[in-house]
Amino acid sequence: MLNKILGTLYGQALGDAFAMPAQVHPDDTERCFGWLDSWQAAPEDHLVHAGLPAGRITDDSEQAFSIAQAVIDAGAVTLAAAVSGLVAWYDRVDGDNSPYVGPSTRRGVKALKAGEDPRSTGLWGDTNGAPMRISPIGILHSGDIAGAVADTVTVCMPTHFTGPAVSGAAAVSAAVATATVDGVSLDKVIQAGLQGAEMGREYGRRWFGCSVAFKIEQALAIVASEGDRRSRLRRIYDEVGATLNVPETVGAAFGLLAMAEGDPKETAILAANLSGDADTIGAIACAMAGAFAGFDAIPAADVAVLEGDEVFQSYDVPAIAAGLEALIAKSAVDG
């Protein structure tokens, strides 16, 4: 199980950091890097990440790690732990002045810090912060889609309690929960994601946006179509989308997971060349790939790059993995 836990956490960071320098449009990414298949710093004209060095993780991984640590400290997934993890991260990065805080997260955390009820602070949150940080919740529910979805609802509530956001996060947590089962097929992982998306859409405030499951299926159809990987990636960008919109983000992530056949590094490369909100799509897709393939499938050279990043180091990811493993063991004993 530890191999799967480490695979998920390091996979999350791999997709996040590797795709971080990608530009918003694939033509601009290609102009900067050609085919982006090596570690790169963000270009100086990058819309969001200008000045970030190669291998730097972003808020996608930081929030996932912070929530995981808060859940470990609490001994269970609770609403209070979700609030604690988010606020701890926000304060850590000076969220009021940070350019990396998403709009829904900023709105929700500011309301939380003002003392508002966490059961209502997320009712306007519709962007992709929920699915990008949910992978540790899936880890805690190996083979248990219903349990993963139930705890996902709790973690979404403080900042992203709208139907599309919960649906997208539930798709990811359900896929991770299924991927941690030894010997499971990639098709079953993807089908679990579709099931989680449908279960999750029953929660949260009704909100604008198409079905997450539809966008996943749309991306999978493109992956299964004829054409080289560049042309299919471009179709995902143009037809599924690669913005902060949850159905687009999650749909694209599942498409990349399928196109890479569950290989974490190949998934990261595809996310980088997809462009758009590439670091978030990469973080989600590679967390699922890492859960499926395990830590041993991530090249040692890429692990070394991640472990050399000072932000990654500050979270002590191996200790978080050990804490999650201990929590799983405790839950098994408690029944």
- In the block, which residue shows the tokens 């179709």? 235
Whole-number Å distance between alpha carbons of 268 and 247:
19
Distances (CA, A) of 38 to 14, 41, 308: 12, 10, 16
What is the tally of structural domains in the chain? 1
Q: Is the CB of residue 49 less than 8 Å from the CB of residue 29?
A: no
Which structure tokens are listed for 184?
A: 């499971």
Find the domain containing 8 and state its range: 2-42+55-334
Distances (CA, A) of 145 to 173, 196, 284, 304: 8, 7, 17, 33
Residue 249, C-beta contacts closer than 8 angstroms, at least 6 positions apart = 128, 131, 132, 168, 242, 243, 277, 280, 281, 284
Please name which of 7, 61, 20 lies closest in space to residue 291, comparing C-alpha atoms. Answer: 7
**pTM over the 0.95 mark:** yes
pLDDT at 208: 84
Residue 174 belongs to a domain: yes
Whole-number Å distance between alpha carbons of 262 and 61:
19
- Angle between helix axes 163-179 and 278-293 (nearest 10 degrees) is 30
pLDDT at 334: 82
pLDDT in tens, 179-190: 999 999 999 999
| Residues lower than pLDDT 70 in the chain | 335
Under DSSP, the state recorded for 181 is S
- Residue 120: what residue type? S
Residue 93 belongs to a domain: yes
Determine the length of the chain: 335
Chain centroid to CA 78 = 20
- Counting Cα atoms < 13 Å in the Cβ hemisphere of 287 gives 34
Residue 119 belongs to a domain: yes
Q: Is the CB of residue 218 less than 8 Å from the CB of residue 194?
A: no
Residue 224 belongs to a domain: yes
pLDDT in tens, 288-314: 999 999 999 999 999 999 999 999 999
Whole-number Å distance between alpha carbons of 164 and 186:
24
pLDDT at 209: 82
Q: Is 169 helix (H, G, I), strand (E, B) or coil?
A: helix
Residue 314 belongs to a domain: yes
Residue 48 belongs to a domain: no
Residue 28 belongs to a domain: yes
Q: Burial of 183 by CB count in 10 Å (0-12 exposed, 13-18 middle, 19+ buried)?
A: exposed
- Read off the CATH number of the domain in which 297 is found: 1.10.4080.10
The dihedral sign for the CA sequence 7, 12, 16, 19? positive
pLDDT at 310: 97
Whole-number Å distance between alpha carbons of 195 and 111:
32
Residue 264 belongs to a domain: yes
Under DSSP, the state recorded for 161 is -
Please name which of 272, 285, 302, 274 lies closest in space to residue 20, comparing C-alpha atoms. Answer: 272
**Long-range contacts from 109-116, C-beta under 8 angstroms, 24+ separation:** 109/158, 109/159, 112/83, 112/86, 112/87, 112/158, 112/159, 113/87
Whole-number Å distance between alpha carbons of 292 and 294:
6
